[in-house]
């Protein structure tokens, strides 16, 4: 009861910040830009957030974070529009929406698909934020009991989970993680003041900025990759239905309500797991609905339950993913890793103390998500026609704009052309790694968590009289070590079971 | 499909692990205490993982590539024949852009880059390329230099006049 009251008071205090006219405008701007980013298949939320970080330099922290978070969950709404009307997932999290949503559009039920998607997103998004409101202070309170060894193990566990769940190869995910950690160690050692791996470049003494790497491996590498793929063949966009056709009927609601509720719970939980995120949440939720359906054969041919489940899950996952970020300081995906980078640029370290030291930011952000979800529902349905016009933008000028924003965004942060050298270098490296199917979210996650990982490791070693045995001495450490070993063994088993027989054949 | 790329990357990563191992050796034995421990551990891990990646390229059957990764950003539209030369050309252009950024200044460097990029990488006509570039360079200049107070370089070459 005490915690519910704490959450309630927190949300009220947060509302007094989120409802300031300037913050309402920023949330509106964030969700609108996010929706456009979601609609456009050539740019993802990670690139979008990273590209817009430079525009928040003059803002106060809570306003900047409200803007960037708006882009994050706005992109999840926007992705469904393109998925339903054009059959192209605007984001990877909309892949499952495209399957049944586009089939519904082809059968003349685009309006209902868009309506169920928007209402499902709104309900799941709002319920997800309510769960975040209730759970975040509890988790933060328990997280205060964690010390350096537990934090180190928690981060190692996050790295292995992210490497397992993103991409199709654990080996490549793990290599990307190690590379990210190595990049994070370039610069001055905070303990000794000694410079490490700077190769004699003074520009590397301050380390390699996360924003530069994020923009490089997502935005710049995207453009290089698309230039390599050459001109596209275009797509057929279904006609945008009028608003009145987007209101689901009683029968549609009856079919969609249960999937929305189930997807909210599953999506929130999966979203909170490191590495799982919105994409896997929508896959699992869609799979669950298909598995329990009395008519599974309808899935893939325009089942409204499929659209409701996929879209609700990915929006609930967005709130779920913010839970470990705000309470433990550990992001679970590429988008939340860049958000963490933005927090740090404002001089704020999310984690167990965030709710005590910066309640205005934690609760302001949570309250803004309630407001943002309402904005998305009100804006999205009437303005779908307008948002779809962005799909008609030719890729050539759009890609030039992305390159310009990348270059100037990095220059704004570093004020030297050395930052641009890093941008081009990591853009080329990112392109090569992506060409070889290396997933980028693990690299970004380990880059942002690298300094904290090393700090926790060295503090743990300084605390210990028995070396690495400190990682199994306490019950929580021992449990985390066991989980870590289990994930590694699972991957080893998967390798032996799936890869070796094929290699031998 | 990517066997040769995997193999090349495997060797490069192995080299990186060697360089980091040597670099962290001095740190490990220096006054920093554990300063080199984590980098050294990571270099050993990267070395082992690179060897596994390399081994995979020698024993993996060509038909086995699994499903495409989910986390890659969605691509604009249906792909056509890959043009690796064009991608390398764009990287070269970006390197040249970076080299000339301070020397020529933001406006001329970006204008040249924009026109060449639109004309040669996307086949846009000269006129449209020029117009699009002028508008974008101008808007970006106003946005960053005037609105956000980011001082963009005017070009050291022009400072002698």
Residues in chain A: 505
Q: What is the pTM of this model?
A: 0.82
CB atoms within 10 A of CB B90: 25
Q: Check if A494 contacts B (Cβ < 8 Å).
A: no
Among B23, B69, B110, beta carbon nearest to A197: B23
Q: Structure tokens of A141?
A: 């309170």
Q: Give me B12's structure tokens.
A: 């490069």
Helix (H, G, I), strand (E, B), or coil: what is residue A348?
Answer: coil
Close Cβ partners of A244 (under 8 Å, ≥ 6 residues apart): none
Residue A242 CB: number of other CB atoms within 10 A? 10
Per-residue model confidence (pLDDT) at position B51: 94
Predicted local confidence at residue B74, as pLDDT: 41
- C-alpha to C-alpha distance for A369 and B71, rounded to whole angstroms: 24
What mean pLDDT comes out for the span B94-99?
94
What is the number of other CB atoms lying within 10 angstroms of the CB of residue A309? 36
Q: What is the DSSP letter of A217?
A: I
pLDDT higher than threshold 70 for residue B71: no
Q: Do residue B153 and residue A435 have CB atoms under 8 angstroms apart?
A: no
Q: Say what the pLDDT of residue B125 is.
A: 92
Which residues fall within 8 angstroms of residue A319, CB to CB, at 6 or more apart? Answer: A73, A125, A128, A129, A131, A132, A268, A271, A369
Question: What is the per-residue pLDDT for B70?
Answer: 42
Q: State the complex-level ipTM.
A: 0.85
Beta bridge partners, A187, equal A196
Contact check, Cβ <8 Å, B46/A182 = yes
Interface test with B, best of A321, A403, A443 (most B CBs within 10 A): A403
The predicted pLDDT at position B14 comes to 95
- A467 has a chain B CB within 8 A of its CB: no
CA distances, A33 to each of A38, A86, A316, A367 (Å): 9, 20, 20, 19
Is the distance from CB of A30 to CB of A71 less than 8 angstroms?
yes
| Three-state secondary structure call for residue A403 | helix
Q: Under an 8 A CB cutoff, do A228 and B67 touch?
A: no
Provide the shortest C-alpha distance from residue B137 to chain A (in Å). 8
Facing A41 at nearest CB: one of B37, B75, B94: B75
State the pLDDT at residue B11.
Answer: 95
Cβ(A381)–Cβ(A243) below 8 Å: yes
- Which pLDDT belongs to residue A233? 53
pLDDT score at B63: 52
Q: Do A227 and B16 touch (CB under 8 A)?
A: no
Distance CA A422, CA A430 (A): 12
Residue B60 has pLDDT above 80, yes or no: no
> How far is it between the farthest Cα atoms of chain B?
64
CA-based nearest residue to A175, from A160, A153, A196, A165: A160
Q: Give the pLDDT of residue B16.
A: 94
Mean pLDDT by 10 residues, chain A (505 residues): 75 87 92 86 79 85 91 84 77 79 85 89 91 86 83 87 78 93 89 82 87 89 88 62 80 90 90 75 86 85 90 89 87 83 87 86 90 87 77 83 89 85 95 91 87 87 81 87 91 76 58
- Whether the per-residue pLDDT at B160 is higher than 70: the answer is no
Which chain B residues have a beta carbon less than 8 Å from that of A433? 9
Nearest to B5 among A42, A174, A435 (CB): A435
| Cross-chain CB nearest to A224 (options B90, B101, B144) | B90
Helix or strand (DSSP H, E) at A99: helix A95-106
């Amino acid at each position: 009861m005490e915690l519910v009251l704490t959450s309630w008071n927190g949300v009220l205090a947060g509302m007094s910040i989120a409802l300031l006219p300037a913050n309402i405008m920023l949330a509106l701007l964030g969700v609108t830009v996010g929706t456009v980013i979601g609609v456009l298949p050539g740019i993802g939320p990670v690139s979008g957030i990273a590209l817009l970080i430079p525009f928040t330099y003059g803002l106060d922290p809570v306003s900047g974070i409200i803007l960037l978070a708006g882009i994050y969950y706005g992109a999840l709404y926007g992705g469904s529009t393109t998925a339903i009307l054009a059959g192209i997932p605007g984001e990877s999290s909309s892949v499952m929406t495209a399957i049944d949503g586009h089939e519904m559009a082809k059968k003349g039920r685009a309006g209902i698909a868009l309506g169920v998607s928007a209402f499902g997103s709104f309900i799941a998004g709002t319920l997800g934020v309510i769960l975040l409101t209730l759970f975040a202070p509890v988790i933060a309170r328990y997280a205060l009991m964690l010390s350096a060894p537990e934090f180190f193990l928690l981060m190692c566990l996050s790295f292995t989970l992210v490497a397992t769940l993103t991409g199709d190869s654990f080996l490549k995910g793990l290599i990307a993680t190690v590379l990210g950690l190595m990049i994070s160690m370039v610069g001055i050692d905070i303990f000794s003041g000694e410079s490490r791996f700077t190769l004699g470049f003074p520009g590397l003494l301050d380390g390699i900025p996360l924003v530069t790497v994020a923009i490089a491996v997502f935005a710049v590498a995207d453009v290089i990759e698309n230039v390599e793929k050459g001109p596209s063949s275009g797509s057929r966009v279904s006609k945008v239905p009028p608003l009145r056709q987007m209101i689901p009927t009683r029968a549609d609601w009856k079919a969609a309500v249960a999937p929305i509720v189930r997807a909210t719970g599953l999506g929130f939980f999966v979203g909170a797991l490191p590495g799982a995120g919105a994409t896997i949440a929508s896959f699992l939720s869609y799979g669950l609905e298909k598995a329990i359906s009395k008519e599974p054969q309808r899935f893939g041919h325009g089942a409204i339950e499929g659209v409701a489940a996929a879209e609700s899950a990915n929006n609930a996952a967005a709130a779920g993913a913010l839970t470990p970020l705000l309470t433990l300081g550990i992001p679970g995906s590429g988008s939340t890793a860049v958000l963490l980078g933005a927090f740090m640029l404002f001089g704020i370290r999310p984690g167990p103390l965030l709710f005590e030291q910066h309640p205005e930011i934690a609760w302001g952000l949570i309250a803004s998500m309630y407001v943002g979800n309402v904005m998305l529902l009100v804006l999205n349905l009437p303005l779908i026609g307008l948002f779809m016009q962005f799909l008609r933008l030719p890729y050539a000028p759009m890609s030039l704009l992305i390159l310009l924003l990348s270059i100037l965004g990095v220059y704004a942060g570093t004020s030297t052309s050395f930052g641009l050298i890093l941008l081009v270098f990591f853009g080329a490296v990112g392109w090569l790694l992506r060409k070889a199917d290396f997933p980028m979210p693990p690299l970004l996650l380990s880059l942002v968590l690298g300094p904290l990982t090393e700090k926790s490791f060295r503090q743990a070693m300084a605390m210990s009289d028995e070396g690495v045995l400190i990682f199994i001495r306490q019950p929580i450490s021992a449990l985390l070590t066991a989980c870590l070993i289990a994930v590694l063994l699972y991957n080893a088993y998967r390798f032996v079971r799936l890869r070796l027989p094929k290699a031998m054949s | 499909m990517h066997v040769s790329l995997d193999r090349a990357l495997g060797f490069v990563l192995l080299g990186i692990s060697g360089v980091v191992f040597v670099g962290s050796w001095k740190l490990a034995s220096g006054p920093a205490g554990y300063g080199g421990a984590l980098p050294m551990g990571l270099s050993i891990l990267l070395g082992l993982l690179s060897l596994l990646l390399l081994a995979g390229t020698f024993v993996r059957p060509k038909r086995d590539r699994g499903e495409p990764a989910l986390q890659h950003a969605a691509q604009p539209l249906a792909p056509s024949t890959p043009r690796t030369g064009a991608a390398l050309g764009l990287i070269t252009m970006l390197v040249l852009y970076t080299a000339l950024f301070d020397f020529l200044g933001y406006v001329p460097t970006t204008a040249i880059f924009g026109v060449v990029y639109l004309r040669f990488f996307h086949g846009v006509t000269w006129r449209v390329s020029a117009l699009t570039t002028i508008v974008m360079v101008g808007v970006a200049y106003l946005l960053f230099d005037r609105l956000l107070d980011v001082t963009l370089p005017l070009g050291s070459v022009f400072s002698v006049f």
